[in-house]
Amino acid sequence: MKRLTATTALCALFFTAFAAGRGPAGVPEYPDSLRSVWLYTEGIKQNTIAGDTARAREFFTEAIRNDSTFAPAYYEMASNGMYSTPDEAVELARSAHRLDTANKWYHQFLGQTLIFARRYDEALAVYRRLRTDDPQNPDNYRLLAALYEQAEQPFSAIATLDSAEMRFGRIPVLSTMKRQLLVATRQLDKAVEEAKAMVDAVPYEAQHHVVLADLYNILGKDSLALAEYDQALKIDSTNVGTLMSLADYYNGRRDYRSLLSITERLFKSDEMPLDAKIKRFELFTSDMRFYREYYTQLNALASTLAVRYPQDKRVVELYARHLIASGELEQALALYKLHLGDQPPVESFYRSIIDIESYLQHPDSVDRYVSRALELFPDQVDFHIAKGHALNYSKQYAKAVKAYRQSLSFAATDSLRSAIWGLIGDTWHQKAVAGDTNDENFSLAGKKGASRSDMKQCYKTYDRSLHYNPDNAMVLNNYAYFLSLEGRDLEKALAMASRAVALTDNNPTYLDTHAWVLFKLGRTAEAKKVMQQAIALDSQNSPELLVHYGDILHAMGEQFMAEVYWRKALEKGYDADRITRRMEQGKTPKE
């Protein structure tokens, strides 16, 4: 009867609710041993039921203060994150284990906490002991092997896994660790034997055949590798892991046709994420030579994605870019237009349509789609700029200037404001030279009225552009060149041209301007050197650069070489009449 009464009292203690708002100070009067139990139990309740870890920690701390040998309180604080640092967690776990060394869970938790704190050497010692004290737990072998590997003792890790295999038989996760360690230590033959054993043990698991095939691949045993890949595909012909391993095999052998064939099967699988498919396609198409050589198969990949994901905007972009790369601009344009009704509207589709229509020189279409884009995205600065481009192209210069100015209110950075003011300056220049056909390069020399006024506006806006970004290389270059054509402020022009060259990586157009300003300053020998550099770097063989070089050579009395370069410019499409005048006049033309 006394035993029953004691048990009833203990149960009552476990289920006594702690009054809300009261802390450990309100602990009932119980014998010391039961007082720690009560505090511990209240801590459990506060943590698990109330979710109040701070209050729970107070109870656990009070339980330890009441009885410093009460191991469960140390364990609960460590296992529930009631500590400030990983090292404090280790000390709590160590105290729990020290106070109850017979508790295998406390011992194992100490090892886990040491790993959490990255105190791997101490953890290694703990798991060595755990393997001895608890030899029937395979997880102890797994973690001990992992710690040996962390300590760069792979052979000890392998020995640990061997002993686990002898005790428990083959456990897939331990066999995988062992095989990886054998590969890392270049014990490939043993790794193959391990993989073969797994295939024999579980012959109908495709992944085991793939592992064996990958090892044969490393050893260069192609026929055996292909046989295992084939066996894996017989088990599951759609398994993404198998197909990707086979794709890697063909890639390593540079058998790109087989690689692309396997990739097409992957692209038809729903198990492979679309992001992975897109990244793989972009990787294949990043090299234009590869693109051209395997175009047919890459086209099949792009078509597969377009059929399987017709509404995904990423796939629409991918397929449209593929059509553009194939020279099928009209088809790409039609594809983008087909998706203009998508909801929500896609800005990038409008941008691409505007770019293609501009390239195809369809000004009416450009204007129509720019207007539609502005209705949908009125705050997008690039559509306002595109409107300016369209008006500029149609030679409506005043309206173009107005459109560019409107875009300024949507420009978020000084860099962009500088670029827009540069476009406005370029437009004023185009307006100034509009209708002027007498000189091959426009000059204000001798000109009055509207043209001079327009060029003044050009320089004024260039100054505003450079106010926002003094290092706008394009504006610096154009400003310098136009000044050189007028033959005024040449020192200022030289400073700007020099800065434009310094800001860029040997841009041949900017070097040409630099050389031309030097030429206008009479520094002909320097101009020749810079112009030689521009010609050497100009992969486009620009006729304008060839003509300028010929003019500089002519001024230096090197008439024969001057005519060589003038003829080259003629071959590249430069105006024949102007070349003829150079040949006949035998003097430097007025620029």
Give pLDDT tens digits along the chain (591 positions).
333 333 333 233 333 333 333 445 455 555 566 888 888 898 889 888 988 888 989 998 988 898 889 889 899 898 888 888 999 989 999 998 999 988 988 998 898 999 999 998 998 898 889 888 888 888 888 888 888 888 888 888 888 887 887 888 877 788 777 777 887 888 888 888 888 888 888 888 888 898 888 888 888 899 998 999 999 999 999 999 999 999 999 999 999 999 999 999 999 999 999 999 999 999 999 998 999 999 999 999 999 999 999 999 999 999 999 999 999 999 999 999 999 999 999 999 999 999 999 889 898 899 999 999 999 999 999 999 999 999 998 899 999 999 999 999 999 999 999 999 999 999 999 999 885 544 445 454 445 567 889 999 999 999 999 999 999 999 999 999 999 999 999 999 999 999 999 999 889 999 999 999 999 999 999 999 999 999 999 888 899 999 999 999 999 999 999 899 999 999 999 898 998 988 887 654 444
Q: Report DSSP letters for 281-315, one per residue.
A: HHHHTTSHHHHHHTHHHHHHHHHHHHHH-TT-HHH
Position 85, amino acid = T
* Alpha-carbon span 317 to 310, nearest angstrom: 11
Q: Which two tokens stand for residue 451?
A: 């043209």
* Alpha-carbon span 570 to 565, nearest angstrom: 9
Phi-psi region of 81 (alpha: psi -120 to 50; beta: other; left: phi over 0): left
Q: Check: CB of residue 392 under 8 Å from CB of residue 430.
A: yes
The domains of the chain, with CATH numbers, are 187-272 (1.25.40.10)
Give Dmax over CA atoms of the chain in angstroms: 133
Residue 417: C-alpha distances to residues 405, 453, 470 (Å):
10, 23, 12
Q: What is the pLDDT of residues 82-111, one digit of tens each?
A: 888 999 989 999 998 999 988 988 998 898
Q: Check: CB of residue 388 under 8 Å from CB of residue 423.
A: yes
Q: Which two tokens stand for residue 390?
A: 């369209």
* Alpha-carbon span 532 to 527, nearest angstrom: 9
Place of tokens 């050579």: 553
Rounded to a whole number of angstroms, the CA Rg of the chain reads 39
Q: What is the pLDDT of residues 134-175, one digit of tens each?
A: 888 888 888 888 888 888 888 888 888 878 878 888 777 887
Q: Which residues contact 110 (CB under 8 A, 6 or more apart)?
A: 90, 93, 94, 96, 97, 126
3-state SS class at 422: helix
DSSP 8-class letter at 489: S
* Alpha-carbon span 431 to 115, nearest angstrom: 74
Q: Report DSSP letters for 244-288, one per residue.
A: HHHHHHHHHTT-HHHHHHHHHHHHT-SSS-HHHHHHHHHHHTTSH
Place of tokens 């017989």: 234
